[in-house]
């Protein structure tokens, strides 16, 4: 019964998939936890292609389907990384009674005032001057229209996401990353909106990664200051990909969180 209740649901960030949690999933399962890592639409091994995903609501539909399938009595620990914070937040808003606690690991963390649009724009503005580097852009609506997708480039990933991770983890990632959609439509804004009445019911824990080169520590702290979670944890010397650079520390954090909130 304890194992059933301690069910962690892991949600990846942009261009990645459930595969990026392989170290953490293995370790958590060995510790007795039930773990589910989910591919968002057109990510990982999900069969859809990025041009078929028209909004954030399409993107995180696999998570919503999973949450809806949970037994009424089951409450899970949601863990969102990076862009996965928006997915986790939407699940908290729709299924607050099924979430024991939500964990944001170097992730976007919205609230009713800090919207999808605001956080995306603020995060983009805080990037370095060489922010895109060799990132590729997709133009599925034609070259005369704004970009509809992005794919992180090898140099970008090496310097901004994986600079403290093992080289073999970067090598793995380079073979598995996929284009992710760029969404600025009204449907996406509405789908990611959260309220104090629903989202606000769920305890939140933020895990700060202080050597993150893309969602930098000052931006993480800014979100925390403007939208205080119930608890803040710090994993030192972690790059953006905390599940690769500091998997043991991340598992220890998740263990502490589950023991406190379950």
What does the longest C-alpha to C-alpha distance in the chain come to?
A: 56
Q: Among 183, 116, 145, 157, which residue's Cα sits nearest to residue 15?
A: 157
262 close to 184: Cβ distance less than 8 angstroms: no
**What secondary structure does DSSP assign to 22-55, as a single string?**
HHHHHHHHHTT-EEEEEPPTTSTT-SS-GGG--S
Q: Which residues participate in catalysis according to the annotation?
A: 82, 212, 240
The token pair that represents 135 in the structure block:
């990132």
Those residues whose C-beta lies under 8 Å from the C-beta of residue 47, and which sit 6 or more positions away, are none
CB atoms within 10 A of CB 22: 15
Those residues whose C-beta lies under 8 Å from the C-beta of residue 184, and which sit 6 or more positions away, are 117, 146
Rounded CA separation 101/202 (Å): 6
- Where residue 32 falls (left for φ over 0; alpha for ψ -120 to 50; beta otherwise) is left
Interaxial angle between packed helices 247-261 and 22-30, expressed in degrees from 0 to 180 and rounded to the nearest 10: 50
Kindly tell me the sign of the dihedral angle through the C-alpha atoms of 220, 225, 231, 236: positive
Rounded CA separation 59/56 (Å): 5
């Amino acid at each position: 019964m304890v194992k059933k209740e301690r069910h962690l649901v892991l949600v990846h960030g942009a261009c990645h998939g459930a595969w990026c949690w392989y170290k953490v999933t293995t370790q958590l399962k060995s510790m007795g936890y039930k773990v589910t890592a989910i591919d968002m639409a057109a990510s990982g091994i999900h069969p859809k292609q990025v041009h078929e995903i028209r909004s954030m609501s399409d993107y995180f539909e696999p998570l919503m389907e999973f949450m809806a399938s949970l037994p009424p009595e089951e409450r899970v620990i949601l863990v969102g990384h990076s862009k996965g914070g928006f997915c986790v937040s939407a699940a908290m808003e729709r299924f607050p009674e099924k979430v024991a606690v939500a964990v944001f690991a170097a992730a976007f963390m919205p609230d009713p005032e800090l919207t999808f649009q605001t956080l995306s724009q603020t995060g983009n503005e805080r990037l370095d001057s060489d922010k895109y580097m060799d990132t590729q852009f997709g133009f599925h609506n034609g070259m005369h229209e704004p970009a509809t997708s992005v794919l992180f480039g090898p140099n970008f990933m090496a310097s901004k996401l994986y600079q403290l991770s093992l080289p073999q983890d970067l090598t793995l990632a380079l073979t598995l990353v996929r284009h992710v959609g760029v969404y600025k439509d009204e449907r996406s804004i509405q789908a990611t909106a959260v309220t104090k009445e629903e989202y606000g019911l769920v305890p939140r824990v933020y895990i700060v990664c202080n050597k993150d080169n893309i969602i930098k520590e000052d931006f993480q702290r800014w979100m925390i200051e403007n939208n205080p979670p119930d608890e803040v944890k710090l994993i030192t010397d972690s790059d953006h990909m905390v599940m690769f650079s500091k998997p043991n520390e991340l598992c220890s954090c998740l263990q502490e969180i589950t023991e406190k909130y379950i």
